[in-house]
Amino acid sequence: MTSENERNLSHCSCKSTLMPLIGKTLIVTTIATLTVALISNKLINPMLTLNTLTTYKNESFSVTGTAKINTIPDQAEVRLGINLKESTVQEVQDKVNKIIEDIKTKLVGIGIDKKDIKTDNYSLYPEYDYSDDANKKTTGYTIDTNLVITIQDFTKLNQTIDLATMAGANQISGIQFTLSEKKQDEIEKQARKEAIENAKQKANELANIANMKLGRIINIYENKIYNSQPMYDLYARAEIKSLGSGSPTNIEPGSTNFEFEVTLNFETL
């Protein structure tokens, strides 16, 4: 039988809603429902349900700005080669070492710093006569080496090549005009600044046309493109012999292009 004190199942519901945050960038809605069943004045099976809905606004606007600076290189790298063959290892080493020392002495004499004259790729190997496979004979030993000379004063560039070839260098692998680290840093800072200004100008113009409102910059990416002057290729050994006895060498540096790209990501409002 049903007692007078017995009561029907009752429910108690509680709902709470968090209003959208200012700025319209985050909306959080939380609904909590608490159901309580009371039977014979006792609390049975309390049940809590929590539902959460989160919405993020993630919109951005990207623009790439560019800058291009034309400048004159302030540094040249000359690669001089010595290729010499003698009958013994001692002979070829002595002669090559003498040529290297003569070149260094002459270049220091015109103001080239010793630290800017470096030896690179020093190779010593035997030469063979392959006419008789059964009795392969050693015909001598060859040394192939390079001197890498860094020059800041271009008025000494042509003289450097002439003095080196007269002292015994018989190869010129190439001449590369570049920017020194100091000048490259200066040009890079200037190009970066111009690229950012260019990107901001584009962003404002496009936003006005599209009737958009831009917020703060949330990301930035950069890309530098350094186009150096092509290397002068004077590698032909047959022609290099005339450098020491013919007309003076005459090489002038060209211009160098330094390009910089910056991509800015703007927050949209």
Question: Is the same domain home to 174 and 101?
Answer: yes
54 and 82 belong to one structural domain:
no
Whether residues 238 and 133 share a domain: the answer is yes
Summarize the confidence of residues 216-221 as an average pLDDT: 90
Whether residue 191 is contained in a domain is answered as: no
pTM, rounded to two decimals:
0.58
Residues 239 and 106 in one domain: yes
**Phi and psi at residue 228, to the nearest 5°:** -80, 165
**Which tens digits make up the pLDDT trace of 219-266?**
999 887 766 544 444 433 334 444 445 556 666 666 778 888 999 999
Whether residues 139 and 88 fall in one domain: yes
User: Which range of residues forms the domain containing residue 147?
Assistant: 75-178+234-244
Residue 41's SS3 state is coil
Q: Which distant-in-sequence residues (6+ apart) come within 8 Å of 66 by Cβ?
A: 195, 198, 259, 260, 261, 262
Do residue 25 and residue 79 come from a single domain?
A: no
In CATH, what number is assigned to the domain containing residue 121? 3.30.70.2970
pLDDT in tens, 26-63: 444 443 444 444 444 444 455 555 555 554 455 778 99
- The reply to whether 79 and 50 lie within a common domain is no
**Residue 174 within a domain:** yes
With beta carbons less than 8 A apart as the criterion, state whether 82 and 169 touch.
Answer: yes
pLDDT of residue 18: 37
| Any domain includes 210 | no
79 in the same domain as 38:
no
Give me the number of domains the chain comprises.
Answer: 2
